[in-house]
Amino acid sequence: MKIGIVVLNWNGLADTRECLESLKQINYDDFFVTVIDNGSDNYEAQKIKDDYGKFAEIISLPDNLGYAKGNNLGIQQALKQGADAVLLLNNDVTTVEKDFLGHLAKKLMVSGIGIVGPKILYYHKKDRVWFGGGDFHWWTGLVFHRGEGELDNPKYGNEKKATFITGCSMLVKREVFEKVGILDEEYPLYWEDADFCYRTIEKGFDLWYVPQSKIWHKVSQSVGEGSPKRTYFATRSRFIFMKKHLSKFQWIIFSIIFTFYKIPIKIFRSIINGNITNLNSFFKGIIDGLKYKIH
């Protein structure tokens, strides 16, 4: 199985270098790497090309096109080069085990499976799980990482079917792109991976978590965990997703739970933590998500 690895860089030169150094050590034979530089400052694209031009193809974009559009360019490039599968890999995944790609490829070869994802651990807390498989719950409008924050243990050591694989690291079969399409560019940031997984399942493919494959992730390096920007885009994109995919009945249930459970909790936590700016971003995300017209 020929695999194209797509790494998106945006002002993350140090992390991208670590990521590429780690990829150079893997023991899978048939792969190639494409780095999409999303309009970074300080000549980062050229610096990456100078250091890794023989190992990876570097595509430099004049502007930041966002996560979905940037990755889509990489996906299309990989498919043009004959990839049987494409691995989307965040540049802040700075450590991978040498055999991580082989384990993913082996599982993806099983008939009916469209997307697989590895066990992802925190880079700075190497024994703690960040992603041990994932699920989407429409009634809360949330995607869940199994085991997030827990110490790694045998409970997360078994392969398991999932309804969500994080775009931090997902290996996607070529057939999925041919039948489902690429990432939806209506999501400028966040939820594009959940949307892609949802559409993949709708087309009859299965998603699997493969814990034999292990990587380590510097969580939220690009935007910042809990930042107003992250809160705004995550909330806005959640509402775009829900409007796009939920039935009328599901939308009513989601709206009730969100209004009488999620919003009061968000207000309470923001006041306690003195983070009113974050609260403003939350409500702006709701309003803009509701106003957004699905194309």
pLDDT, residue 221, reads 56
pLDDT of residue 275: 86
Detail the DSSP E strand segments found in the chain: 3-9, 31-38, 56-61, 85-90, 93-96, 113-122, 129-131, 134-137, 142-145, 160-162, 169-173, 206-217
- pLDDT-derived band at 22 (thresholds 50, 70, 90) equals very high
Looking at residue 222, its pLDDT comes to 54
DSSP-assigned letters across all residues of 169-208 = EEEEEHHHHHHH-S--TT-SSSSHHHHHHHHHHHTT-EEE
CB 246 within 8 A of CB 138: yes
25 within 8 A of 100, measured Cβ to Cβ: no
Q: Where are the domains of the chain?
A: 3-217, 228-291
Question: What average pLDDT score do residues 249-257 get?
Answer: 96
pLDDT digits (tens, 9 = 90+) for 99-146: 999 999 999 999 999 999 999 999 999 999 999 999 999 999 999 999
- Where residue 225 falls among pLDDT bands split at 50, 70, 90? low
The confidence band for 17, taking pLDDT boundaries of 50, 70 and 90, is very high
pLDDT at 93 over 70: yes
Residue 174 has pLDDT above 80, yes or no: yes
175-219 confidence digits (pLDDT tens): 999 999 999 999 988 999 999 999 999 999 999 999 999 999 998
CATH number of 3-217: 3.90.550.60
User: Letter for the amino acid at 56?
Assistant: A
% of residues, the chain, pLDDT over 70: 98
CA end-to-end distance (rounded Å), the chain: 35
pLDDT at 242: 96
DSSP string, 42-72: TTHHHHHHHHHTTTEEEEEESS---HHHHHH
Backbone phi, then psi, for 62, in 5-degree steps? -70, -25
pTM of the model: 0.94
Rounded Cα–Cα distance for residues 96 and 119 (Å): 10
